[in-house]
Amino acid sequence: MDYTQNLSQEFLEFVEQQPHQSLRQLLTRVLQKSRLLTGAEAGTIFLVRRKRGRALLEAVNTQNDRVRVRPADFVVPVDNKTISGYVALTGETVMIDDVYSISPDAPYSFNPANEARHYQTHSMLCFPLKNYTNQVIGVAQLINRIKPHTGEVIPFDPHLAAVVAPVARVVGASIERADMLEQIRQKNQTLQNRNRQLAEHQARIATLQEQTEEAFLLSVGLLARAAEIHDEGTGNHIIRTNEYSYFIARNLGLPPGFCNEIHYSAQLHDVGKMSVDQAVLKKKGRLDDGERTEMDRHTTYGHQILRDSPRLQMAAEIALNHHEKWAGGGYPAGLAGIDIPISARIVQVADVYDALRSERPYKRGFSHDEARNIILKGDDRLDPFEHFDPQLIELFADLHEGFARIWDDLRDEAEPAPAVSS
């Protein structure tokens, strides 16, 4: 009895010494130790798994000193067709002297199909691994007890059956804990992988959005250019208008969203000219009243072209209102003051400055100083205080050099530098 008690004691101490190890390490060591203490040449540990409501025993560790065994990867059902299945089903310990001479009356049977290649099982000790609530969580199967020195296969010591019950419970609880930790670790891993995939998806979506944004801006630019072709062929006029407008909006302290929108919307102010009667658009010389009315309609045509796109709402508003006047009397609606949207008031200043600087078939290009004088003080054709929002005249007076810089940076290739007026 001393021998079995010592055995039991030794096993319990062994398990307690190994509290924080992986499931694999724990299973390997438990099986090694079990074999060492019982003299078994081979063995397998199974864990109970549930798949679609069915309980299965999955071989998770197998060892054999005589022949090479493949890593354990087979499953057996929890039923009495195998010895391990029977042990899992009933929670009983089974000890057999020779599995090839099991009585036909025994409640279990041995399945030789599960033998390792070139190996024969004779004696067997098979006991359940239980958790603290007495549930079977696995099965340990020890095979072929070897007599020291002779190498002969002998039956297991019958006393061992009594020893394994408490041992199996402690081992079972440790295995269950390690198994849970393992499953939590695997779930965490899966979660991390999913998070990584999600991050990759988001990066891809961000790239797509960037590409969509680029495509959008390209389309808007092309639309503005297409409209220009029917007009006076004014080169970089539309791009410069974007830049002056952005410059004004920034310096007015308008929100970044507004500034970004006007940065691409300003260029579309004359897009309605696409719809103006070609004969009127291309006519040289004075327009009669009817022709003037048709020409002025480029504001409402532009609004019609742009108004249905959510991202072109500001562009539509600019197209409609960029010929209104601060003092009233502009077209198409004759709005005045702050009834004219700020976007359109900004584009007016940008558009007029650039038109003054540009050479046209009927006029030379003015120098920056000339253009500045006209915008600040007016000439025979333009009264700035009737035309422009006074706060924008003030801003222009302060920051006119910024306008000159934009003109210089984006000057048309063929545009000759105007003589500096003294």
What single-letter amino acid sits at 418? Answer: P
CB-wise, 86 or 326, nearer to Fe ion? Answer: 326
**How long is the chain?**
422
Min dist CB 299 to Fe ion, Å, is 7
The phi, psi pair for 59, rounded to 5°, reads -70, 120
Best CA proximity match to 258, nearest among 82, 266, 301: 266
Q: Is the distance from CB of 59 to CB of 69 less than 8 angstroms?
A: no
Return d(Cα 282, Cα 284) in angstroms, integer. Answer: 6
**Measured distance between the N- and C-terminal CA atoms of the chain, rounded to whole angstroms:** 121
Token pair for residue 342?
Answer: 């700020």
Q: Is the distance from CB of 387 to CB of 325 less than 8 angstroms?
A: yes
Min dist CB 354 to Fe ion, Å, is 7
Min dist CB 202 to Fe ion, Å, is 41
Min dist CB 357 to Fe ion, Å, is 12
CB-wise, 23 or 271, nearer to Fe ion? Answer: 271
SS3 call for 55: strand
Alpha-carbon distance values, 29 to 74, 213, 308, 367 (Å): 20, 61, 73, 92
CB-wise, 270 or 294, nearer to Fe ion? Answer: 270
The residues binding Fe ion (CB under 5 A) are: 270, 351
Min dist CB 201 to Fe ion, Å, is 43
> What's the chain's Rg over C-alpha atoms?
45
CB-wise, 91 or 235, nearer to Fe ion? Answer: 235
Token pair for residue 390?
Answer: 């006074």
Q: Which sign does the torsion angle of CA 396, 399, 402, 404 carry?
A: positive
Question: Which of 103-112 are b and which e, b meaning 16 or more Cβ less than 10 Å from the residue's Cβ?
Answer: eeeeebebee
Q: Is the distance from CB of 77 to CB of 109 less than 8 angstroms?
A: no
CB-wise, 141 or 242, nearer to Fe ion? Answer: 242
CB-wise, 97 or 415, nearer to Fe ion? Answer: 415
Min dist CB 212 to Fe ion, Å, is 28
CB-wise, 130 or 240, nearer to Fe ion? Answer: 240
Min dist CB 320 to Fe ion, Å, is 10
Return d(Cα 32, Cα 13) in angstroms, integer. Answer: 15
Min dist CB 302 to Fe ion, Å, is 8
CB-wise, 127 or 353, nearer to Fe ion? Answer: 353
Best CA proximity match to 352, nearest among 383, 331, 315: 383
